[in-house]
Structure 1
Amino acid sequence: MQQSSGPQVFGFMLTDQFSLIAFTAAIEVLRLANRAAGRKLYEWQLYSADGKSAVASSGVAVSVDRSFRDAPNMDAVVVCAGVDVQLIDHRDLITVIRRLNKFGAALGAVCTGTYVLAKAGLLDGFRCTIHWENRPGIQADFPDLDFGDELFEIDRDRFTCAGGVAAADMMLSLIKRDHGEAVSSAVTDQLIHHRIREASERQRMDLRTRLGVADPKLLRVIALMERSIERPLTIAQFARSVALSPRQLERLFLKHLGSSPNRHYIGIRLTHASQLLRQTRMPILDVAMASGFSSASYFSQSYLERFGHSPSAERKAAVG
């Protein structure tokens, strides 16, 4: 971001159902930076679609200064979004952020705000990231964009993060870049955050922690399952990848997870399908194929058994 003689002005664009924790993590870092520096490094204003209070996904209402349309030129824009971002009409916001960008504003996003920047065509040629749960949907909608798995990405005048407390790490990194390590370290101490996490750190807990298992062969197979969704492998192929027989692999899964390898694998693929159904407008057959199911009837049956409702019911609930 370009440095000016006065404070850098940030505009936080709060969409309907925005993530309160991601917004708060971002804005509080700026407040604490001013306190640590003993002078005003940053100013900010809040905006909503209609200029009235914006309601977060938690139901908390946050007062704003102006509507999107009334936003003046500023140094940086931060789009704060949350659940069901793809179902909201962002036309006014997109018009505004395109205008602000033309006048030199850097563009940022927390949580699913990345989707709005992508829809505006403002991430072309930039590396970016989004919350892991929303990555399958946004990659389906914008297959040509460069999405990573990182906590946050700062690429020239674009900065995006996965949401949650990763918003604090991203803003701390911006402060460190613009105002030095002394200020960023002081803010980190105030947050009792211990350290600024690197952008490249994982969004999710590693498999060992997430599943509560330590067997290296089991973990390798599950990691391979999570990478092999659209083009499924057979259980025999998974077993060969860790020098086991299918029967040995079956025993390993039953011992540590209480489930067969096939059932666990189908669960991974159905979870992926559920994300696509809720986050995209892909036809249900395309969702089935993108999740490794070649038969629509088998996909529907498996989905019903797993979630208690059909793929079409999932889609209907998501859009309506």
Structure 2
Amino acid sequence: MLKRDQDGCCWLSFLVLPGFNLRCLEASLLYLDQLNTLAEQPLYRWALLSVDDATPNDVGGLVATHYQHHDPDNLVVCAGPVAIEYRDAEWQHWLIRQLTLGCVRELLGEGLTNGLPAELDIGFCKQVCNSPQSDSSHGGVLGQHLPALRLLGLYHRAFHAQNRDASRLQRVVVLMCQNLEKPLKVSALAASVHISLRQLERIFHRHAAMAPGRYYLKLRLLLARDLTLATPLPISQVATRCGFSSLAHFSRCYRSQFGIAPKKDRLANGN
């Protein structure tokens, strides 16, 4: 589970490795900012960590701190889709220490541990990969109880697409994120990037393995789970703030996605 402070705020530290698309992180921070706004309280705050001088110093107005000067409560390791060998001994030692302390919440990126010492591979397998709620789709290890971090997994494939569709896909995902409370029609999303609905559906199936409407619904349900578990908002208000006009429909979608009704989910997590 995420570590939170006494006010219920969770600090996320994003360690950005070479090859990771920073637009993916920017979209995720936009989602977290929207979440804080809808919750009417700061559920999440975040910091950007770099491993070397090659990492940009600024992402969405966030200035990066070198990883050695930061002790994270919740570490999110962000790597690109291509396996790269990271042989910096100091960085490896620091990451192993975070694993030992139980601070690593998310491992995002294909082949992140490629070329790392066996100790680090084993550490990731034991502390992250073997979680009974893990979901290794979309290049990440996405714990069922970390809805805000699951979003990174949804974004990862979309924002690391390497073809002419990538820009359109990314613009649509950002537009979805900006309109979670009042969802747009999928046809309007397609029109916003000047393509047909059928073209948009093909792009999403190719790069996100689901239809755009399903992708949009999943974003809203992840938001709903965060609001359900981290705020005292009535379930009816959670539904409204996530774009559902019918409470019954919201409950059915929530149960289908997470295997439990929202009220029971809140009670099961001690809220």
TM-score (norm 1): 0.42
